[in-house]
Chain A
Amino acid sequence: MDWQALSLSLQLAAATVLLLLPLGICLARLLAWSRFRGQGALEAAILLPLVLPPTVLGYYLLLGFGNASSLGQIYHALTGRALVFTFDGLLAASLIFNLPFAVQPMQRAFAAIPREVREAAWVSGLSRWQTFLRVELPLAWPGIAAALALTFAHTLGEFGVVLMVGGSLPGETRTIAIAIYDQAQAFNDSAAAAMSALLLALSFIAVALVSRLGRSLGRR
């Protein structure tokens, strides 16, 4: 068992979940309740990581994050660090390839809140922020929690994008999925089996949680 890789994967998943929570909620509310020009294109762009081969997405991220790219240069100027083959770059990539997993369940949850219920909160004197905290969040939380569980599990298991953007630097970019691949390549079957079983269990728990939360959303 590569504990370093497991720890790195858990850190990556936790950071992704923490950052996608506010970002996902903002995007989901926007897409659920607003109508604006370019909405279809934005929705398509968010869904793209679902259908794109991970190596293709990874390739474009590698180009976009590379030291020759303007994004890579700006990031380097600001932090002194590179975006490729670093944890930072892995996190940025993770945010992008997890967008559909985070936004879609949240969007469905917010869209299920009747417009009149939010309006009732406003005419009852609740500010937009109070309405968000007291009415929208409690009603949408099963969808939000499902999104976070999916994102967490998906981050642990992502392979192609991680390999393209991060490579396999121990302690920096070698996640548990990459470690499994390395161990299997080295015919270290018992280590690969142990880590695979762990990933399987974590993924199963996440999916079971999502389906349970989905049912509780449906009951409302």
Chain B
Amino acid sequence: MSLLARLEQSAPIPLAADIACERGELLALVGPSGSGKSTILRCLAGLHRPAGGYVRCGDATWFDAARGIDVTPQGRRVGFVFQHYALFPHLTALANVTLALQHLAPGERSAKAREWLARANLEGLEARRPAELSGGQQQRVAIARALARDPQVLLLDEPFSAVDQVTRRKLLRQLIHLRRSLPIPIVLVTHDLEEASLLADRMTVLHHGRTLQTAAPDEMLARPASALVARLTDQPNLFAGKVLEQSPETATTVIDWLGQPLLAPYHAGFAVGDTVSWMVPEAAVVLVREHQSDRENTVAACVSERLAWRGHATVSARVAGRRDATLSFAIGASVAQRRGIIPGASILLQLQKSAVRLLPAEEASRAPASGRGDVSP
């Protein structure tokens, strides 16, 4: 049973989205606020009717504008976890879950609801109302209620946005564990890329209601389809350059970046003289020693910032002689300590040729040669 949807509308929020999620797969919809993520989820659940397109789940058509089909939310068998959970405030945790068991005989509902609450580690809290539960417990009741419906699709709308960081990590672990036992398509809306990378099999990047690219998280980070996707997925090392030389024999395209040549894998799509965008993932920016300065794509830089968190350090370094070009890379915090990576230190960085990715140039105003620009939501 897979979920397949094409959604189109021009107002109130423009949509031109293609969604595909296989059985057992978790698809994350990511994008800045206002990009239409939640609206897409509402379309899938039947809570919003787009102007055009279709929604199919397995063999069933839930929505088809051309054929005039629009199955009600009640008829779609969707589990929906709302951003602020939308628990029924006047009912206990048990009654919240019981209400979603309309498909069972009345006599079976209570026992089944207890079973779902137990699976969500909520034993002993059955008689509490939502206001008497913590944020994390409320979220688990919401997930239990969504699953109690015996859904064919599970939809999660920013399920971790309303809890604190510590609770969030706990809930993330539980969801990772839980989803292994769910043989249905799961669609997660989030603006948090870390969350998407941790949970999702594939992610779809959205901008102004358009789906720009769908790929596995690692693939998305390593090979964004466009500079806009790179920007929306928070790639720090995104720059502009000019093609200097095309050399299919050596499988190399050479670009000019800030007056120095930079080697990239051969890309036939550009001609000498073309302006291009290019990016290199943080993981492919490598700290090298003095005697390795003759390696390809090595640039001298000066550390401007070091942010350490849980044993990892994210380092920003200005390219020597260029106050406006900053490279970002990640190393272990202890390595950073040992190698003296502190603000002001001079270092050598190698940009691994195989990971340099050339992309069609963005409009001039959006692609500074020097580094990332702001993403307008």
Q: Which residues of A contact B (CB under 8 A)?
A: 114, 116-117, 119-127, 130, 134-135, 138-139, 220
Contacts and interface: CB of A to CB of B under 8 A. Distances in A.
Contacts of B84: 114, 116
Interface string B333-371: 000000000000000000000000000000000000000
A116 B82 contact: yes
A125 to B, nearest CB: 4
A119 B88 contact: no
Nearest to A114: B86
B48 to A, nearest CB: 10
B99 A134 contact: yes
Given A123-B45, A124-B149, A125-B100, 11 more contacts: A117-B86, A117-B88, A120-B80, A120-B87, A122-B72, A123-B46, A123-B76, A124-B99, A125-B103, A125-B149, A134-B99
B49 to A, nearest CB: 13
B145 interface: yes
Interface centre among A116, A121, A123, A126 (most CB of B within 10 A): A123
B102 A123 contact: no
B310 interface: no
Given A116-B84, A119-B47, A119-B73, A124 B145 contact: yes
Interface of B: 45-47, 72-74, 76-80, 82-84, 86-90, 99-100, 102-103, 145, 149
A117 B99 contact: no
B175 to A, nearest CB: 19
Given A124-B145, A125-B103, A126-B102, A117 B73 contact: no
Contact of B100 (A124, A139, A220): A124
Q: State the majority secondary structure of interface residues on B.
A: loop
A126 B72 contact: no
A123 B90 contact: no
Contacts of B102: 124-126, 130
A139 B129 CA distance: 13
Nearest to B90: A138
Contact of B80 (A123, A134, A135, A139): A123
Contacts of B83: 116
Nearest to A119: B47
A120 B86 contact: yes
Interface centre among B72, B86, B102 (most CB of A within 10 A): B86
Interface centre among B79, B82, B83 (most CB of A within 10 A): B82
Given A116-B82, A127-B74, A122 B47 contact: yes
17 contacts: A114-B86, A116-B84, A119-B73, A120-B87, A123-B46, A123-B47, A123-B76, A124-B100, A124-B102, A124-B149, A125-B77, A125-B103, A125-B149, A130-B102, A134-B99, A135-B90, A139-B90
Contact of A125 (B47, B74, B86, B87): B74
Cβ-closest 5 pairs across A and B: A116-B86, A124-B100, A120-B86, A122-B73, A125-B102
A220 B83 CA distance: 19
Contacts of A126: 74, 99, 102
Nearest to B42: A119
Interface centre among A119, A124, A135 (most CB of B within 10 A): A124
A138 B95 CA distance: 13
A116 B157 CA distance: 12
A135 B91 CA distance: 9
B292 to A, nearest CB: 57
B88 A121 contact: yes
B103 A139 contact: no
A119 B149 CA distance: 14
A121 B221 CA distance: 38
Contacts of A125: 74, 77, 100, 102-103, 149
A130 B72 CA distance: 14
A38 to B, nearest CB: 21
A36 B72 CA distance: 22
A116 B142 CA distance: 12
B326 to A, nearest CB: 42
A202 to B, nearest CB: 30
A149 B73 CA distance: 36
Contacts of B47: 119, 122-123
A126 B82 CA distance: 16
Contacts of A130: 102
Contacts of A135: 88, 90
Contact of A123 (B87, B88, B89, B149): B149
B203 to A, nearest CB: 24
A124 B86 CA distance: 11
Contacts of B77: 125
A122 B73 CA distance: 6
A116 B73 CA distance: 13
A123 B87 CA distance: 12
A122 B78 CA distance: 10
A203 B278 CA distance: 77
A128 to B, nearest CB: 8
A134 to B, nearest CB: 7
Given A125-B102, A126-B74, A119 B86 contact: yes
Contacts of B73: 119, 122-123
Contacts of B46: 122-123
